[in-house]
Amino acid sequence: MIKEIKISTKAKYDVVDIQKQVESIVKESKVKNGLCNVFVAHATAAVIINENYDPNVCDDIIDAMAELVKEGKWRHDRVDDNAAAHIKSAIIGPSETIPVKDGKLILGRWQNIIVCDFDGPREERSVFVSVIGE
């Protein structure tokens, strides 16, 4: 089963927790044991699994990426001024795969599924959730 989640972002750097939507798709799939893949179909966004209970964690990740990859010094900036966003998303990656056991995602107590947008705001980002198994 493959389902699409549409999200929007409000700032140049933004994070969107999609945990509830992914859990709903896993439940709808009726897969008891298998895998759930979450993939953002954009070259300037990424998917992470991390804490979102304390919003400072996500802010720290955004800040760390800004420190690691400086803006405005890359060749691609001559095209559309978002080279740093491409680099940040490439470092983090566009997808995460989570085991499914007894019809539920296997995640730690503080782990949530989060999309990071490094080139917002965007009215619409597409996230594809694939659930396979028995």
Looking at the domain 2-133, which fold is it? Answer: Jelly Rolls (2.60.120)
Work out the pLDDT band at 87, boundaries 50, 70, 90: very high
17 closest CA partner among 73, 68, 61: 61
Mean residue pLDDT across the chain: 97
Residue with tokens 């700032």: 11
Work out the pLDDT band at 7, boundaries 50, 70, 90: very high
Query: Residue 17: its pLDDT value, please?
Result: 97
Domain chopping of the chain, boundaries: 2-133
Work out the pLDDT band at 111, boundaries 50, 70, 90: very high
